[in-house]
Amino acid sequence: MKKSLILLLAGLFVAIPVFSQSSEQLSQIIKTEKLTYALASYLPALQAQLITDEDSIGSFSDQSTSAFDVLKSKGFIAENASADSQITLAALSDLYLKTIGIKGGLFYTITKSPRYAFKELKAKGILPQEADPSMSVSGREALDIFSDCLELTGGNE
């Protein structure tokens, strides 16, 4: 009985910092007015299992930059993108389609273009009709879009 109680308490002490770190990261993303590629990369990299929550040691800036580097090396992000530049709605749409695994239409399937990724999310009702592909995105908007994309694929369960 003592052994299982000690293991339970030890598990709680290990789990609490991981959950608090994740909430800090989400808070940082939500507070951002104009999302950068690095911040936008963190959740898709987790979803695609290219990084883990255990990689949450260190500053959030370092974690998001490493998530960006992993996604860029795997071809999810354009070669000319930099971690600290603002991400557009078209680039964010492309990142989410690729990492979450949403099937696109004919033109997206052929070109894998951010423009057609944007049009695909617009057609699926995830993006508003008045949205523009060159718009900058806030952290809150990005999380809403990410959540809607997960619901579309059933990955939010």
pLDDT of the residue at 152: 87
Does the pTM of the predicted model rise above 0.85?
no
- What span, in angstroms and rounded, lies between the C-alpha atoms of 91 and 97? 10
pLDDT in 10s for each residue of the chain, 157 residues: 554 444 333 343 333 333 344 677 888 899 999 999 999 999 999 889 898 766 555 566 677 888 999 999 999 999 999 999 999 999 999 999 999 989 888 999 999 999 999 999 999 999 999 999 999 999 999 999 999 999 988 865 5
Encoding tokens for residue 140?
């809150």
> What is the full DSSP assignment across 22-88?
HHHHHHHHHH-SS-BHHHHHHHHHHHTTSS-GGG--S-HHHHHHHHHHHHHHTTSS-TT--TTSBPB
pLDDT of the residue at 6: 46
CB 104, CB 75: distance < 8 Å: no
Q: Is 119 helix (H, G, I), strand (E, B) or coil?
A: helix
- What span, in angstroms and rounded, lies between the C-alpha atoms of 49 and 71? 11
